[in-house]
DNA sequence: TGCAACTTCCAAATAATATTGAAAGTATTG
DNA sequence: CAATACTTTCAATATTATTTGGAAGTTGCA
């Protein structure tokens, strides 16, 4: 496969992949463009590579910076800003995981913790508390695992896990 | 908190949570309704609990059955079908994980495997292959971990992982 | 077989989300 | 400080996803 075609496919696929997760298509495509670019890109570069508007490019670049997936870089003698993606895939995974954990998982764990104490003494209430408690236990465990696995040494964790579990 | 209020909150939250993942809001809400119902529900029950149309209820019930999160059940002497959610949270987690792995992760792993062989000898091509290879490695590991963790004994895995990694 | 009682499908309507582009804002330079 | 080069914002617009409701299909029973 030609390099150009490969990059294109990657950008499309990464965009679709992102879309299925909380990340929107453009944001994932901008990320993909930066990931496969050997040089940092300017806003204009991104606009023209992906055929998107200035506002869109800017918005998604900012969001990627929020997610710690992209950094602003300065080029000597250049006034405008350039952007480059974090290329260490373990760091990418860590940042995405932590962000989603914080935004989605943690609030759910908190809510389930409250719900498992809902009032009522009849069978229905007991069944509900059991379901809530089970879900709370499950989500807490997942949360704890993700916390641990993204705290310091992701690479070690995943390598260890894939060995231990062979 | 009152039981009724608790159930409502759960249905809303589970719906929003699902929305952030590949599952749409109604599907997640239907699932939540069934999860917290002590009795199996009919299509009509679901429609009125959530204020959604027949078509919508039906479509999402079917989708939940596809995902193995819900079963049809027959009630003696009743013609219409009733639906009940799988209540074992480990099974729920397993089924959701496997489904999303199959739909999203596996195709990405496959694509990255191809892309890491893209043509070209210059620095740009080499950098691209490196990025693709790194991502392929990462996604393969995650895929392998999920495969293992959902194959037979999820509970053991998560317990083990959360202990080992303490 | 024909008639309910129910389920499924699907085109059209609606709602939610993403994108645009021009205007406003901000920093840098001469 | 004014001109310039750029970034950010946001209301309008376009796109995409979801939901509806009625028509078509199925099933079981008298």
Range(s) of the domain holding residue B12: 3-85
Among candidates B118, B123, B122, B124, which has minimal Cα distance to A9? B118
Is B43 within 8 Å of B53 (Cβ atoms)?
A: no
Give the separation between CA A29 and CA A23, rounded to whole angstroms.
Answer: 10
Taking only the tens place, the pLDDT of each residue in B9-63 is 999 999 888 877 778 889 999 999 999 998 899 999 999 999 999 999 999 999 9
Give the count of domains, chain A. 2
Q: What ipTM does the predicted assembly reach?
A: 0.81
Between CA B166 and CA B145 the distance in angstroms is: 19
pLDDT (tens digit, 9 = 90+) per residue, A81-131? 999 999 999 998 898 888 888 888 899 999 999 999 999 899 889 989 999
Residue A64 corresponds to which tokens in the numbers above? 């990627």
Q: How confident is the model at residue A63 (pLDDT cuts 50, 70, 90)?
A: very high
| Claim to verify: residue A98 and residue A29 sit in the same structural domain | no
Q: Which residues pair with B71 in a beta bridge?
A: B84
B155: Cβ under 7 Å from strand C? Answer: no
B112 and B153 in a single domain? The answer is: yes
Query: Are B62 and B102 within one domain?
Result: no
Asked which of A85, A106, A127 is the last residue of a domain, the reply is A85
Find out whether B147 and B163 touch, Cβ atoms under 8 Å. Answer: no
CA angle at B155 for the pair B143 and B141, rounded to the nearest 5°: 15
Residue B106: strand, helix, or coil: helix
* Cα A4 from chain centroid (whole Å): 26
Instruction: For residues B75-95, give the mean pLDDT.
Output: 87
**Per-residue pLDDT tens for B122-131?**
988 998 999 9
DSSP B104: I
pLDDT score of A159: 52
pLDDT of A155 reads: 52
pLDDT tens, residue by residue, A13-31: 999 888 777 788 899 999 9
Say yes or no: B95 and B111 in one domain.
yes
The predicted structure's pLDDT at residue B162: 47
| pLDDT category of residue B85 using cuts at 50, 70 and 90 | very high
Q: Are residues B80 and B117 both part of a single domain?
A: no
Nucleotide with C1' nearest the A62 CA = D8
Residue ranges of B 19-38 with Cβ closer than 8 A to chain A? 20-22, 35-36, 38
What distances in angstroms separate CA A69 from CA A60, A131, A154, B138, one per listed residue? 11, 37, 16, 16
Split at pLDDT 50, 70, 90, the class of B166 is: very low
Residues B101 and B145 in one domain: yes
Distance from CA of B46 to the nearest CA of A (A): 17
Q: Do residue B16 and residue B64 come from a single domain? A: yes
Say whether the CB atom of A78 is under 7 angstroms from strand D. yes
Compute the distance between CA of residue B145 and CA of residue A157 in angstroms, rounded to an integer: 11
Return the pLDDT at A156: 57
pLDDT greater at residue B75 or residue B155: B75
CATH number at residue A7: 1.10.10.10
| CA contacts within 13 A on the Cβ side of A3 | 16
């Amino acid at each position: 496969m030609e390099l150009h075609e490969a990059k294109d496919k990657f950008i499309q696929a990464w965009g679709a992949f992102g879309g299925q997760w909380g990340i929107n298509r453009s944001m994932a495509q901008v990320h993909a463009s930066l990931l496969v670019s050997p040089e940092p890109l300017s806003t204009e570069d991104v606009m023209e590579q992906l055929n998107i508007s200035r506002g869109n490019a800017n918005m998604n670049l900012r969001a990627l910076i929020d997610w710690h997936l992209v950094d602003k870089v300065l080029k000597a003698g250049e006034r405008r800003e350039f952007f480059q993606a974090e290329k260490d895939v373990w760091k990418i995974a860590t940042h995405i995981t932590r962000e989603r954990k914080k935004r989605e998982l943690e609030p759910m764990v908190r809510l389930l913790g409250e719900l498992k104490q809902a009032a009522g003494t009849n069978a229905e209430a007991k069944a509900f508390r059991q379901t809530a408690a089970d879900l709370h236990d499950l989500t807490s465990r997942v949360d704890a695992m993700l916390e641990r696995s993204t705290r310091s040494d992701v690479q070690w964790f995943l390598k260890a896990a894939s060995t231990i579990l062979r």
